[in-house]
Chain A
Amino acid sequence: MAQIFAYIAHKNGVVEDSAAELAVAAKKIDAAAQPTAIVTGSGSTLDSACQGAAKLYAQVWKLDNAALAYPNGEVVRKALAKIVPAGSIVLIPHDTFGMDMAPGLSIKLDAAYAADIVGLDGLSGATLKAVRQEFAGMAHTHVTIDTAKGAVLTLRPGSFQPDGSSASGSVTDKSGDAGDLGAKRRFLQVVEAETGDVDITKADVLVSVGRGIEDAENISIAQELAEAMGAVVSCSRPIVDAKWLEKSRQVGTSGKTVKPKVYMAMGISGSFQHLGGLKGSPFIVAVNKNPKAPIFQVADVGIVENILEFMPALTEKIGG
């Protein structure tokens, strides 16, 4: 069986939730697997991240290098391509770092690549069967991955529930094997997102609009409903891309994480990047004209209507 590796994402010395999720995914691939965690970074935060990883993995490989202090996708890829043996299966979270680093790693390792996996069956011979989504979650697929020459797989955050199992792993220092880490892309700095005029993370009730709102002028329909409900208006990404609302109102992985009591998803399809910003199990109301919209799979209450008619009617009934 191929050796399985998990790339551990960590921040300020603490491993991210994905560390436990990848351990579960490794077991799904091969119940007998003894996956190895790879933790890259520099200095004391790296050491504490390795300690965190050792609570989940029996083996931890540590890669300490000043060039790895910030996870620059190009530099990490170079290091991993050096230390991961040919034929291995490498698991990586499908986040903005994984999307950056993993496709190129698969080329450098001459391994198969499958991205954004949401489900896994066990290996059968060299063939791995996985579940993916296409068309923004509107269609599910099984894919077969030929792992004969190894595979790099990115896994959707939140798709593999940690099973609470623990380890007391040992840390091996592999820093000497990373080779030359010079790269033609240099990390400069992180610019924090601007804070806007409202803080949607504090609202108990959000009226959230998506591309179904169709036009900048229709935003006022949502504002009127929000006013009548004593709620705040938030939105999905395309609304911000179109500059109809400020970035600070965007819910999702590249926007804000919100924890309202009630979330009104109006004309939002329910992509995983959008839902990734919804925490604390709010009561979700979805209004969408497409009865097959993926949002109805996660909402508590669903209504198939045109939001441009439904929202004004609701506002009027509430007495806005």
Chain B
Amino acid sequence: MEILVCVKRVPDTAENEITIKGDGTDIQRDDLVYSVNEWDNYATEEAIQIRDKVGGAVTVVTVGDSEAEEILRRQMAMGADKGILLADDAFEGSDGRGIASILKAEILKGKYDLILTGAQADDGAAQVGGMLAAMLDWPYASLVNKIEIDGKKLKIGREIEGGNQEMNEIELPCVLSIQTGINEPRYVGIRGIRKVASVEIPSHGAGDLGIAAGSVGAAAARVKRADYFTPVMGKGAEMLEGSMEEKIDKLIELLKAKGGLK
């Protein structure tokens, strides 16, 4: 099975406080720790496990700048066979449709049976997988938390509300977006990353992919971020101040009043 996994380099929200720049044009990016999007890591692990079971190869691909190469290497250290960077100034400012069209162009250059994406990335859109499938005219299923291979078909589980699982049969080739928890992504040590440090990663631009200038990127985007802002919220929480001792005493009082402590 030839599997392509779409991965994105994103600020790691577990490691960073996200703060907005004074003028609202962006978040403060200077000291951000970046990593591979959490969902994409599960997608890569799933692809590797499928390959190990039925054979074939796993390719990881990202649309990003040269810094995005580091996540391709990380996923190759996990066990992906190949990495492809899709980079071009013309790609900058693409909306979800733009990213999906760039990925589609790369996919049509190869011969893939299965495309995996993460369920969502840092801006929570959960859009690229479904758009890509529709552009390719391949069947799609989102929030996949189980994959069984059955010849030219897959039996898949989708996680739906309440943690229930919707079982489907889907024909190959197809696009699946992967939900966290489907597997336990393997740990990647420094040593693993060193091993793939010198592997050549091809970079494809708009010209290589036959993408017309202006059909992707900021000019083509129909959805654009106007600004980041800090919303006016309701009253918010009453913040307890003082030493830890004092906070605990106040909290115990409140808990007693609210029925949290007998």
> Across the two chains, which residue of chain A brings its CB closest to B19?
A292
Q: A300-B238, A303-B251, A305-B244 are in contact. Are A96 and B96 (CB under 8 A)?
A: no
Stretch in A42-50, A159-167, A312-320 touching the partner:
A312-320
The chain A residue sitting closest to B119, CB to CB, is: A99
Q: 16 interchain pairs (CB within 8 A)?
A: A100-B140, A104-B134, A104-B140, A107-B134, A131-B231, A135-B123, A143-B224, A185-B140, A188-B155, A229-B255, A261-B260, A297-B234, A298-B237, A302-B237, A310-B247, A317-B249
Task: Compute how far the CA of A173 lies from the CA of B157 in the bound complex, rounded to whole angstroms.
Answer: 33
For B122, the chain A residues whose CB sits under 8 A away are 134-135
Given known pairs A99-B119, A135-B18, the reply for A304 and B239 (CB within 8 Å) is yes
Q: How far is the CA of A262 from the CA of B252 in the complex (A)?
A: 12
Q: Is A30 an interface residue (CB 8 A)?
A: no
**A139–B29 alpha-carbon span in the complex (Å):** 13
Partner of B133, one of A104, A186, A230, A243: A104
Contact B13 A261 (CB under 8 A): no
Q: A144 CA to B228 CA in the complex, in Å?
A: 12
Q: Quick one: CB contact mask for A125-158 with B, threshold 8 Å, 1 for yes?
A: 0000101111110111111111001010000000
A290 at the B interface (CB under 8 A): yes
Residues of A within 8 A of B135 (CB): 107
Whether the Cβ atoms of A190 and B165 lie closer than 8 Å is yes
Residues of A within 8 A of B (CB): 72-74, 77, 95-97, 99-108, 112-116, 129, 131-136, 138-146, 149, 151, 183-193, 204-205, 211, 229-231, 237-238, 240-243, 247, 250, 253-257, 261-262, 264, 269, 283-286, 290-292, 296-305, 309-310, 313-314, 317-318
Is there contact, CB below 8 Å, between B163 and A141? no
**A103-B131, A113-B127, A115-B126 known; A185 and B169 CB under 8 Å?**
yes
Q: Contact check: which of B128, B164, B231, B239 meets A190 at CB < 8 Å?
A: B164
Taking A114-B223, A303-B251 as contacts, is the C-beta distance between A290 and B174 under 8 angstroms? no
State the Cβ distance, A7 to closest chain B Cβ, in Å.
15
Closest 9 CB pairs of A and B: A103-B130, A302-B237, A262-B260, A104-B134, A107-B134, A193-B163, A112-B222, A184-B139, A241-B181
Contact in complex: A140, B259 (CB < 8 Å): no
When A135-B11, A185-B139, A317-B252 are in contact, do A301 and B17 touch as well, CB less than 8 Å? no
Complex Cα distance A105/B27, Å?
31
B14 near A211 with CB under 8 A, answer yes
Contact A140 B130 (CB under 8 A): no
The yes or no answer to B162 lying at the interface (CB within 8 A) is: yes
Residues of A within 8 A of B230 (CB): 140
Q: Which residues of the other chain, B, contact A238 by a CB distance below 8 angstroms?
A: 180
Size of the chain B interface, CB-CB below 8 angstroms: 83
**B8 — which chain A residues lie within 8 A by C-beta?**
none
Chain A's nearest CB lies how many Å from the CB of B130?
3
Instruction: Point out the residue from A100, A261, A305 that lies within 8 Å of B247, measured CB to CB.
Output: A305
Interface of B is mostly: mixed
Contact partner, B17, options A253, A286, A290, Cβ 8 Å: A290
Contact of A146 with B223 in the complex, beta carbons under 8 Å:
yes
Our pick among A103, A187, A240, A261 for the contact of B129 (Cβ within 8 Å) is A103
Contacting residues, chain B, for A240 (C-beta < 8 A): 181
A105–B131 Cα gap in the complex (Å)? 8
Q: Are A261 and B258 in contact (CB under 8 A)?
A: yes
User: Per DSSP, are chain A's interface residues mostly helix, strand or loop, or mixed?
Assistant: mixed
Residues on the B chain within 8 Å of A314, using CB: 248, 251-252
A17 to B261, alpha carbons, bound, how many Å?
34
A297 shortest CB reach to chain B, Å: 5
Whole-angstrom distance between the alpha carbons of A205 and B128 in the complex? 40
The residues of B that contact A77 with a CB separation of less than 8 Å are 134
B110 within 8 A of A: no
Contact across chains for A115 and B18 when beta carbons are under 8 A apart: no
Q: Is the CB of B141 within 8 A of A301?
A: no
Contact of A138 among B13, B141, B161, B226 (CB under 8 A): B13
Asked if B227 and A142 sit within 8 Å, CB to CB, the answer is: yes
| Cross-chain contact of A301 among B163, B251, B261 (Cβ < 8 A) | B251
B191: interface (CB < 8 Å): no
User: Is A190 touching B160 in the complex (CB atoms < 8 A)?
Assistant: yes
Q: Answer whether A115 and B125 are a contact pair too, CB < 8 Å, given A193-B164, A292-B17.
A: yes
Q: Is the CB of A190 within 8 A of B167?
A: yes
Give the residue of A107, A136, A143 whose beta carbon is less than 8 angstroms from that of B131.
Answer: A107
Q: Enumerate chain A residues within 8 angstroms of B174, measured Cβ to Cβ.
A: 184-185
B255 touches A302 (CB 8 A): no
The proximity string for B residues 200-226 relative to A, scoring 1 for CB distances below 8 Å and 0 otherwise, is: 000000000000000000000011111
Q: Does B147 make an interface contact (CB < 8 A)?
A: no
Contact B163 A185 (CB under 8 A): no
Q: What is the distance, in angstroms, from A11's C-beta to the closest C-beta of chain B?
A: 10
* C-alpha gap A286/B237 in the complex (Å): 8
